[in-house]
Amino acid sequence: MTQLTEAQNSTVALSINCKLQGSTRLPAFSMDGDFIIGGAFSIHHYMQTVNHNYTAMPEPVRCIGSINTRELQSSRAMAFAIEEINNNTELLPGIRLGYQIYDTCLSVSVTVHVAFQLLNSFSPLFYIGNNCSQFGRVMAVVGETGSTPSISMSRILGTFSIPQVSHFATCACLSDKQQYPSFFRTIPSDLFQADALAKLVKHFGWTWIGAVRSDSDYGNNGMASFLDAAQKEGICVEYSVSFYRTQPQSRIQRVADVIRRSTSVVIVAFVASGDMKILLEELSHEPFPPHQWIGSESWVTNPEFTRFAFCDGAIGFGIPKSIIPVATSPILTDPYTDTSQLRITNMAYKAVYAIAHAIHNVLCQGKNSTTKCDKLTILEYEQLKSVNFSRNGYDVSFDANGDPVAIYELVNWQKSETGKTELVTVGLYNGSQPVDKEFQINRNITWMEGSAQVPVSVCTGSCPPGTHKVLQKGKPICCYDCVLCPEGEISNTTDSADCLPCHKEFWPSTKRDTCIPKPKEFLSFQDILGISLATFSVLGACLAIITAAIFFHHRTSPIVRANNSELSFLLLISLTLCFLCSLTFIGAPSEWSCMLRHTAFGITFVLCISCVLGKTLVVLMAFKATLPGSNVMKWFGPPQQRMTVVSFTIIQVLICTTWLVLSPPFPIQNLTTYKEKIILECALGSAIGFWAVLGYIGLLASLCFVLAVLARKLPDNFNEAKLITFSMLIFCAVWITFIPAYVSSPGKFTVAVEIFAILASSFGLIMCIFAPKCFIILFKPEKNTKKYLMNKNQS
């Protein structure tokens, strides 16, 4: 990355080739100074396995395997930063910093060894040529890389109050100042990254995911934080598996098989870089369905992994790219010399400057040329909390937990025009912003297989409006069935958990996704049923008028005069009114129509029955009058007949008036008979009043029927009693059957039943009483003579 000075290169070479005395571990890079900053980096990921025979002193542990170029780059950035500080006249003037940088092999045991080595650095022997140099005191340590080794190191260094500033240990557990008081870091805690990853998954509508983690403090704590945040966002996990790079190959294969067999498309991998390399290599052995990878900072920003083509389109959060002003060689092009993705490297660079500023604040007084620094002062870890500075456009500070402000870039693996996979920044997450405003995307994302379409990863597809989610038994909440809303309820949103009932005057649409006004139903003049009943009503009225006209035209004929023409005309008028009153039952109910229809019906029918009753009494009285010495007709002449009709009618008028005054009928919207429609009808107001009206009509009809039955065997010239008997029989039969039909008929059919009863009984009266007479008048005029009637009587 940097062009080292000749002195630096010779020092590095000598330090690597120096020999050890006893069990002392040599640093990978070192430089003498007034104060030493220790460095612990996982330049290798493995250490040599040593078999102890307990007969000889074991050899020092050696790191083996390939070099992690990113960690090597970070370690060199630390050395570069210290050189830069030493050449700075404003920061630590007169003080020369040195460093001891160790390779910990990402091993806890080696890290512990390094921690004790740094504690003993007051007087280690380090050979340069033929001379030994005496190192200064270790003031602080930069590192370690992994969270688990950092935990071990922090427990040791914290005991001696030596500050530790990690550039890559992100476990949220390290924010616990009770356990790790001297631990600081320039990289945000995984608590923020886990929350950002959960919001990212939720943002793209992925509710069914797989989870893979390192079986370490980093992976286990990070994934636990993510799963907790994901659960709050309503995200379900199909599987959650863990592994560690040193575990048997069979364990890695099982994890790979779980991924290959999974139904979830999205995989969230909270995996350390060294572990991820092992997993991706195992997955590359066999083809498997494409997956959308969501990565943590540890591996998603590592350019080395872009060679795995099946990860193209991966996205994840990374530390923002930065610029370190270094001299670079125009011909070097490997990951070590690539300065285009200085993310973690910059964290190590900032860690050195944070320590230098803390030392400056403690040792030095005054500013610029007047600054004087006391080399005997000791740095305490609490003094790192007050560090606040800017370097290369980036602010550096620590909160009470020793964590920096959480700022991440959203990184996407995209293929360039040359076919090379590149890390492209497509968004930003800033933990200092208000809730729900931390996350933003400002560029197009390339998804798996180079698609521009966001992949779908759900256990069950979205439930459309009109349905609601019903959880599948024994499965996560993201696995459900889409069930149609119950009758009378709707859902107007996608993936509705419940359906909402419509207002009582509304009903769900066919798709049950909206409430629409219920149709209002009543017996109208536009209905076929209403038209039919109205037609019969008018025809009945016309028939009664025609009959009255015939009777009026032949009013002097014997058959008309013999059947009490005055009552006959009154009866025909009342029948006409009965036919016409049925029209008041058709149409939308109103306050006046409700009161009119029942009272008009009650009064006209009583008038009609009163006339029939009067005719029946006339027949009986006329027969009595033929008996010797009888003057009964004197007491039941036309005035008395009129008075009888009027009296019976007035009683019904009083009943109706009382009903209307106390509790009249009124229009209502019937919402109970039918769920899906509203029936407009007239409420009775007082059921007693309604049944009193019908009861009175029934009483008069029954009395008339009884009298007509008594008069049915009178001489033939008075045979109108037989016709009245049949008419009353029909009348009573109609109204007796009306009661159960009226009670059981729903909606507008209740009104239709009542109209039918009115028309049927009216037609029964007119046909039974007047049809035979009209037939004689029109078609048998020879029988419409006094002689014929008298002869028939005599015969």
Residue 432 structural domain: 189-318+406-459
When mean pLDDT is compared across 159-168, 275-284, 597-606, 746-755, the lowest value belongs to 746-755
pLDDT given for residue 169 in this prediction: 92
pLDDT given for residue 388 in this prediction: 92
Asked if residue 631 has pLDDT above 60, the reply is: no
Q: For residue 757, what pLDDT band results from cuts at 50, 70 and 90?
A: confident
CATH code assigned at 711: 1.20.1070.10
Local structure of residue 142 (DSSP, 8 states): E
Residues 478 and 540 in one domain: no
Residue 50 burial (CB count, 10 A): 11
Asked if residue 740 has pLDDT above 50, the reply is: yes
Could you report the per-residue pLDDT of 722-735, keeping only the tens digit for each? 777 888 888 888 88
Query: Which of 21-25, 393-397, 451-455, 523-527: highest mean pLDDT?
Result: 451-455
When mean pLDDT is compared across 46-50, 136-140, 327-331, 725-729, the lowest value belongs to 327-331
Q: For residue 86, what pLDDT band results from cuts at 50, 70 and 90?
A: very high
Domain tally, the chain: 4
Asked if residue 686 has pLDDT above 90, the reply is: no
Q: For residue 794, what pLDDT band results from cuts at 50, 70 and 90?
A: very low
Residues 400 and 410 in one domain: no
Cα dist from 531 to 520, 583, 587, whole Å: 18, 10, 11
> Taking all residues of the chain, what is their mean pLDDT, rounded to a whole number?
84
Single out the residue in 459, 475, 503 at which a domain terminates. 459
Residues 358 and 397 in one domain: yes
Q: For residue 369, what pLDDT band results from cuts at 50, 70 and 90?
A: low
Q: Distance (Å, rounded) from C-alpha 260 to C-alpha 288?
A: 6
Q: For residue 6, what pLDDT band results from cuts at 50, 70 and 90?
A: very low
User: Are the beta carbons of 446 and 336 closer than 8 angstroms?
Assistant: no
Asked if residue 131 has pLDDT above 50, the reply is: no
User: Are the beta carbons of 197 and 268 closer than 8 angstroms?
Assistant: yes
For the segment 80-100, the average pLDDT, to the nearest whole number, is: 91
Q: For residue 438, what pLDDT band results from cuts at 50, 70 and 90?
A: confident
Residues 735 and 704 in one domain: yes
Q: Write out the DSSP string of 450-508.
A: G-SSPP---SSPPPPTTEEEEEPTTS-TT-EEEEEPPTTEE--STT-SS-EEPPTTEEE
Asked if residue 782 has pLDDT above 90, the reply is: no
Could you report the per-residue pLDDT of 27-84, keeping only the tens digit for each? 777 898 889 999 999 988 778 777 777 787 777 778 888 888 888 989 999 999 999 9
Q: Distance (Å, rounded) from C-alpha 248 to C-alpha 604?
A: 103
Q: For residue 789, what pLDDT band results from cuts at 50, 70 and 90?
A: low
When mean pLDDT is compared across 53-67, 276-290, 327-341, 764-778, the lowest value belongs to 327-341
pLDDT given for residue 568 in this prediction: 83
pLDDT given for residue 336 in this prediction: 63
For the segment 648-674, the average pLDDT, to the nearest whole number, is: 89
Residues 606 and 671 in one domain: yes
User: Are the beta carbons of 142 and 37 closer than 8 angstroms?
Assistant: yes
pLDDT given for residue 11 in this prediction: 36
Q: Distance (Å, rounded) from C-alpha 711 to C-alpha 142?
A: 127
Residues 294 and 353 in one domain: no
Q: Distance (Å, rounded) from C-alpha 471 to C-alpha 474?
A: 9
Residue 701 lies in a domain: yes
Q: Which residues neighbour 715 within 8 Å (Cβ) at sequence distance 6 or greater?
A: 623, 793
Asked if residue 5 has pLDDT above 60, the reply is: no
For the segment 526-553, the average pLDDT, to the nearest whole number, is: 90
pLDDT given for residue 134 in this prediction: 44
Asked if residue 398 has pLDDT above 70, the reply is: yes
Q: What percent of the chain has pLDDT over 70?
A: 87
Residue 706 lies in a domain: yes
pLDDT given for residue 707 in this prediction: 81
Residues 20 and 143 in one domain: yes
Q: Write out the DSSP string of 312-355.
A: TT-EEEEPPP--------TT--STTT--TT-SHHHHHHHHHHHH
pLDDT given for residue 16 in this prediction: 34
Residue 438 lies in a domain: yes
Q: For residue 256, what pLDDT band results from cuts at 50, 70 and 90?
A: very high
Asked if residue 561 has pLDDT above 80, the reply is: no
Residue 523 lies in a domain: no
- Assigned token pair, 110: 């080696």
Sign of CA pseudo-dihedral 778, 780, 785, 791: negative
User: Are the beta carbons of 364 and 372 closer than 8 angstroms?
Assistant: yes
Residues 446 and 503 in one domain: no
For the segment 546-564, the average pLDDT, to the nearest whole number, is: 81
If one compares 59 and 474, the residue with the highest pLDDT of the two is 474
Selection from 244, 139, 143 nearest residue 187 by Cα: 143
Asked if residue 476 has pLDDT above 70, the reply is: yes
If one compares 639 and 495, the residue with the highest pLDDT of the two is 495
Q: Write out the DSSP string of 585-625.
A: GSSS--HHHHHHHHHHHHHHHHHHHHHHHHHHHHHHHHHHH
For the segment 563-582, the average pLDDT, to the nearest whole number, is: 85
Residue 795 lies in a domain: no
Q: For residue 773, what pLDDT band results from cuts at 50, 70 and 90?
A: confident
pLDDT given for residue 14 in this prediction: 32
Local structure of residue 375 (DSSP, 8 states): T
pLDDT given for residue 119 in this prediction: 87
Residue 476 lies in a domain: yes
CATH code assigned at 426: 3.40.50.2300
Asked if residue 200 has pLDDT above 90, the reply is: yes
- Assigned token pair, 500: 């909402």
Q: Distance (Å, rounded) from C-alpha 66 to C-alpha 77?
A: 20
Amino acid sitting at position 741: A
For the segment 588-595, the average pLDDT, to the nearest whole number, is: 88
Residues 63 and 137 in one domain: yes
269 beta partners: 212, 295
Residues 371 and 472 in one domain: no
Residues 29 and 64 in one domain: yes
Phi, psi of 41 (to 5 degrees): -130, 145
Residues 348 and 412 in one domain: no
Q: For residue 121, what pLDDT band results from cuts at 50, 70 and 90?
A: low
Residue 793 lies in a domain: no
Residue 794 lies in a domain: no
For the segment 190-217, the average pLDDT, to the nearest whole number, is: 93
Tell me how many degrees the CA angle 480-486-490 measures, rounded to the nearest 5.
85
For the segment 148-157, the average pLDDT, to the nearest whole number, is: 94
